[in-house]
Structure formats: C-alpha cells, structure tokens
A and B are shown apart, each in its own frame.
Chain A
Amino acid sequence: MLLLAGIALAFYWVPMAPLEGFRQRIFYIHVPVALTAYACFGWGAWKGLRLLWTRDQRHDLESYTAIHIGTIFGILTLVTGSIWARTSWGVWWSWGERQLVLFLVLFLFYSAYFMLRYSVDPGPRRANMSAVYALFGVVLIPISFLAIRLAEDLIHPVVFDRDVGTNLAGSQLFTFVVCLAGMLVLAAALYLNELTGKRVDARLRELRESLA
C-alpha cells in the first residue's frame, strides 16, 4: 500500500508544473532520487553504528538493506543524471557535473561494500566490518564532495551551466517537495519490504534447520 502511495505521489504531481519545457521535468526525479540515496546511506550508517553500540545482530540486516536500497537509488541517480545530461547538453557524461561524479565515487564505494559482504563468511565479524565500512561511507560523502569541488579546478573548468537555479517558483518548489516526499516514501517502502522478506527467509531457514 505504501509503495503505491509512494509511486503515485512521485509521478502524479509531475505534470503539474510544465513551466520550463518537458526536459526540465527530470529534475523532479533526479534530485529526489539523489537525496533519497543519501538518506538511505545515512540510515545504513546509523544502523551500523547501532550495531556496534548494542551488538544486536538485527541491526546488521537493517544496515545492509538500507545500503542496498541506497545503492539502487544511487544507480538511478547516475542513470537519470546521465539522461538529463544527454537531453540538456548532448553528452551522456560530464566530469564537470559534481553530483554525478560524487555518485560515481559513492557507487564504487558501496559496490565494494557488497564485495566485502560476499567475501566474508556470515556472522558477527562480517556484521562488524560492514558497519564500520558503512560509517566510513557516510563520512566519505562530504569529503568526496569537497574533493570533487577542489578537483574541478584541476580537471577542467566547468563548461556546462546548470539551469536549475536555487530559486524555484512556488509551484515548482511544491512539486519538488512532493516528489521528494514521494521518493522517500518509496525508499522506505522498498526498505521495509526487503527487510521483512529477508527476515522471513531467515526465520524459515531457522525452522527448517531445527526440524531437520
């Protein structure tokens, strides 16, 4: 139910503000997706911290699921950002586009997270390592952003000018906020969905083992 509400919110309102041409609409998807990804990574790191604090293993699954969802949203950010770049400037990728570069770095980082999980046997050790890595990730986000901003002077000057602007008109702002809320709800729904599913799987496995 929550999922449907999320999707409905995210997409229904977009046609409401066709003020700057159809291409600009992707902004309402791209930025909320990016912000939601940050939120997921932050939540994953928070759950990781809780794991280290309380040594309660439940937090491991919560942290993992949050980062999983976050990575999916991260990939979506890269894809939507790429589409936007293509429609606005005619190229699929631009190193001058800070958000995209940041998400590329984060994508690499969190992909390594999954490599880490696959190459360590399940257990409290893996949970601890994943939690620590998730904390590193969330610290990396602002540091990487700073680094990318510094690097812009080195790599090449910013050629493309983003026309979004920080001053959104009233209805645009409203649409944006609604889309953001929708995305967050969607992410939360996916998170709860995946978490429940995994918990059920684990419970099933436990039952099977105890019966055997």
Chain B
Amino acid sequence: MTYLGDVAALARTSLLLELRSRDTVPALLLFVVSALVVFRFALPADASDLAAIGLLWIAVVFTAILALTRAFVAEREGRVLDGLVLAPCDRSAIWLGKALGVLAFLLVAEAIALPAFGLFFAPVDGATVAAFLLADLGIAAVGTLLAAIAAVSRARELLLPLLFLPLVIPVVVGGVGASVEPDPGRYLAFLGLYDGIFAILAWATFEYVVTE
C-alpha cells in the first residue's frame, strides 16, 4: 500500500472508533458547554471578555488532553500497537493517521465550543478561528507522539499531561495573542512556525518511539 493509503486507512480507523460510539459527540457537546459555564462562574464579575478568551484556550487544551488520552486507548488495551508496528508500513504513517484522528476530534470540539463561547461571552473573530485551526495542527502533531509514549508507560494518564503541558505553552501564547491582540499576524506566524517545526520533528522521530 502506498504511504498515503496507509495514512488514510489509519485515520479512518481512528475516526470510526470515535464515531461508532454514538455518545461521543453529545458527550463532547455537554463537556464543552459545562466547561464554559464553569468559566463564567470562575471569572470575577467585572472581568473582560479577553480574560474569558484565555479560559477558552485552556478549555481547548484540556479537551485536547482528553482526545489524546483516548487516542491510543484502544491500541493499548488490545495490544494492537505492536501489531501496527509490525505491519510493513512506514511507522510515521501511524503517527499521521492518529494525528488526523485527534485533529478531527479537536475540530468537532471547537465547532461546538466557539459558537457556545460566542453565545455566552462574546463573538470570536476570524483571527481567533485561524489561531485555533493552527493550534490544532500543532497540538495534534506533538500530542499524538506524546500519547504514544504515555501509552507504553506505567503512569499513562498521569504522564501525558506532564509531557504535554510544557510543550503546549507556546501554542497557548500564540493562540491567546492572536485572539486578543489587535494585530494577530505575529502570533499566527508564530503558531505556523511551531506547527512546522514540531510536525516535522514528530513525523521524523515517531518511528523511534514505537520501536526498539
């Protein structure tokens, strides 16, 4: 099979696993809306909408951690990861397929979160949407690799946030900056830089993470 064929197959598997359990999308909807309501109560009365945007980004980061924890759960439980690795495909295709699955999850979550945020707080502008899209790419790229590492470890759900959060700090900076500042260009460019560098690094090194 060609490389892209492998990737498509893996991505489809990830997506099917998510969508087959019918409760995923409604659960996600509920989670996002609940989080936003909690934020409303967490902010002081005279807080600006800008502060709320910061919290929206936090919500996305933690939703991402959820998505990533789920990304390799099926493999770990069925020991399928070893089987995937043994398959005669380029290992980085596993990474790409999984990352696309995570990306899809994040996009659905944001499709819910951003309108809900617009309803509860203030509408989001184009730069914010662009920022979220760019951030999703970076999060999916880096997070998938880290999730593969965490899946093999003993600490699992504890380890993933530990590994992930320091690496996601630049994404949050770029994202909040693009959402809040009047001139979002720099921040969007920075997000693009982050995505490019870390996607290449993750793509190149994923093979070593899953093999010996």
> Chain A residues in contact with chain B, CB under 8 A?
52, 105-106, 108-109, 111-112, 115-116, 119-121, 123-125, 128-129, 131-133, 135-136, 139-140, 143-144, 146-148, 150-151, 153-154
Residue numbers in B under 8 Å from A112 (CB-CB)? 159, 162-163, 166
State whether A153 touches B212 (Cβ < 8 A).
Answer: no
- Set A125, A133, A147: member contacting B173, Cβ < 8 A: A147
Closest to A154 in B: B177
State whether A128 touches B211 (Cβ < 8 A).
Answer: yes
Closest to A146 in B: B190
CB-defined interface of B153-179 with A at 8 Å, one 1/0 digit per residue?
111001100110111011001101100
Residue numbers in B under 8 Å from A153 (CB-CB)? 177, 181
Residue numbers in B under 8 Å from A120 (CB-CB)? 149, 152-154
- Within 8 Å of chain A (Cβ to Cβ): is B121? no
State whether A132 touches B205 (Cβ < 8 A).
Answer: yes
> Chain B residues in contact with chain A, CB under 8 A?
142, 145, 149, 152-155, 158-159, 162-163, 165-167, 169-170, 173-174, 176-177, 180-181, 186-187, 190, 193-194, 197-198, 201, 205, 208-209, 211-212
- Set A116, A119, A125: member contacting B212, Cβ < 8 A: A125
What is the CA–CA distance of A139 and B167 in the complex, to the nearest angstrom?
10
State whether A133 touches B165 (Cβ < 8 A).
Answer: no
State whether B159 touches A151 (Cβ < 8 A).
Answer: no
| CB within 8 Å: A-B pair count | 95
18 A–B contacts from the bound complex (CB under 8 Å): A52-B205, A52-B208, A105-B169, A106-B166, A115-B155, A116-B149, A116-B153, A116-B159, A120-B149, A120-B152, A124-B212, A128-B208, A128-B211, A140-B166, A143-B170, A147-B170, A150-B190, A154-B177
- Set B187, B198, B209: member contacting A129, Cβ < 8 A: B209
What is the CA–CA distance of A146 and B198 in the complex, to the nearest angstrom?
15
State whether A154 touches B176 (Cβ < 8 A).
Answer: yes
Secondary structure call for the A interface: helix
What is the CA–CA distance of A125 and B152 in the complex, to the nearest angstrom?
9
Residue numbers in A under 8 Å from B155 (CB-CB)? 115, 119
State whether B176 touches A147 (Cβ < 8 A).
Answer: no
Residue numbers in A under 8 Å from B205 (CB-CB)? 52, 132, 135
State whether B174 touches A147 (Cβ < 8 A).
Answer: yes
Query: Closest CB of chain B to A188's CB: distance in Å?
Result: 27
What is the CA–CA distance of A109 and B176 in the complex, to the nearest angstrom?
21
